[in-house]
Amino acid sequence: MTEVTDFPNSNKDKLVSDMKVVVSDAEELLRATTDVAGGKIGELRERITERLKIAKLRIADAEELLLDRSKAAARATDEYVTENPWRAAGIAAGVGLLLGVIIGRR
């Protein structure tokens, strides 16, 4: 499985979503051209169908990886907050204060 590690999770989610749209559009294109006959077209349709199957598997793997990483991040955050409640509250208050200052300047 190819792993994309250079993107933050939100970009990975968007990439997976975009790939699903591309696969869906390609499948729709294949359905729309089923009446078109010809040796080259049939051969191309078979290759595209095979590549779409592979793409679907890779998308499913990427989704599973994202879900696993999200769950691990949530567990790590939960453990940190449980072990350091005052520190976590201080960080949250600091972030809230920073956001308040930024918003207040507008």
pLDDT for position 24 = 83
Domain segments of the chain as ranges: 9-104
Residue 105 has pLDDT above 70, yes or no: yes
pLDDT for position 29 = 79
Residues sharing a CB contact under 8 Å with residue 91, sequence separation 6 or more, in sequence order: none
| Residue 72: pLDDT band with limits 50, 70, 90 | very high
pLDDT for position 83 = 92
Q: What is the pLDDT of residues 4-59, one digit of tens each?
A: 444 466 777 777 788 888 888 888 877 777 777 677 777 777 888 888 888 888 88
Kindly state the average pLDDT of the residues 57-70: 88
| Residue 3: pLDDT band with limits 50, 70, 90 | very low
